[in-house]
Amino acid sequence: MDKLYIIIPAYNEEDNIASVAREWHTVVAKINSQSRLVIIDDGSKDNTYNILKTLETNLPQLIGITKPNNGHGATILYGYNYALEQGADFIFQTDSDRQTVAADFWQFWPQRNNFSVLLGHRNQRQDGWSRILITKILRLVLNCIFGLNITDANVPFRLLQRKVLQKYLPKIPRDFYLANVILTVYLVKHKENIKYIPITFKPRGGGASFVNYKSIFKIGRRAVKDFWEVKKEL
């Protein structure tokens, strides 16, 4: 019996978290009773975590966790490590802003044993030209630094086999902000068996994004520095 853990980071998502939890809980409940939906509150200042704990009453396979705030990437890494510690066979990651849809998951699950990694491809994004531009710039940066042409390195819709995470997680610093990006770099660089699948990607469901142009510049500058450090290891 394959044990699936769905990992979702959340920060100040009180407007979205109930819908997200119910939608993705349906997925783990359909897989089997051993699978879990793990939503990790990254030190939210709103009621995100309180809502999660209330939802646990009616969503038995939901696990709500809270921790001090240390960023999206670090929260994803926390979730990946937690899933491995709990014995997950497959780990799926998405985000809590309702931009992805659970129905797309069923394109991935039947192929889980054929590919070590299944990555979503946001080929028809609905979240605005500025986010599309950022993705294009990231693709160019990764090409310049690592010599890799990666379709969608930061996509928040990925299904990974346990052995792949066990292999590459130790290489990623625990506070790495763009954790999924650098994980994808390792996967592509080492020629893991990857398949890209087009997914739906909607505008944010509710609440406000905490990424603005000032923070994007700061993140970008830090990312380039971190990427060069990783390149030394590669």
Place of tokens 């990555």: 119
Residue 132, pLDDT score: 63
Q: Dihedrals φ, ψ of 173, to 5°? A: -55, 145
Residue 109, pLDDT score: 98
Contact 46, 15 (CB under 8 A): no
For residue 68, pLDDT over 80 is answered with yes
- How far is 99 from 92, CA to CA, in rounded Å? 16
Over residues 69-105, the pLDDT tens digits come to 999 999 999 999 999 999 999 999 999 999 999 999 9
Strand 36-42, strand 62-67: pairing: parallel
The stretches of 86-212 forming alpha helices (DSSP H) are 105-108, 129-146, 162-168, 179-189
Residue 177, pLDDT score: 83
Residue 5, pLDDT score: 98
Three-class SS state of 157:
strand
Q: Domain-by-domain residue ranges, the chain?
A: 4-233
For residue 129, pLDDT over 90 is answered with no
Q: Which residue has the higher pLDDT, 223 or 84?
A: 84
Over residues 97-119, the pLDDT tens digits come to 999 999 999 999 999 999 999 99
Residues in a beta bridge with 170: none
Mean pLDDT of the chain: 89
- Give the pLDDT mean for 19-26: 98
For residue 214, pLDDT over 60 is answered with no
Residue 234, pLDDT score: 72
Contacts (Cβ under 8 Å, ≥6 apart) of 148: 142, 185, 188, 189
13 token code pair? 């998502």
- How far is 48 from 69, CA to CA, in rounded Å? 13
Q: Of 215, 229, 217, 222, give the one whose Cα is nearest residue 145.
A: 229
101 token code pair? 């849809």
For residue 126, pLDDT over 90 is answered with no
CATH classification code of 4-233:
3.90.550.10
For residue 221, pLDDT over 90 is answered with no
Q: Of 233, 77, 75, 145, give the one whose Cα is nearest residue 137.
A: 145
Residue 203, pLDDT score: 78
Q: Which of 59-68, 78-87, 101-110, 144-153 has the lowest mean pLDDT?
A: 144-153
For residue 49, pLDDT over 70 is answered with yes
For residue 34, pLDDT over 90 is answered with yes
Residue type at position 39: I
Confidence of residue 122 (pLDDT cuts 50, 70, 90): confident
Q: Which of 66-80, 140-154, 186-200 has the lowest mean pLDDT?
A: 140-154
Confidence of residue 135 (pLDDT cuts 50, 70, 90): confident
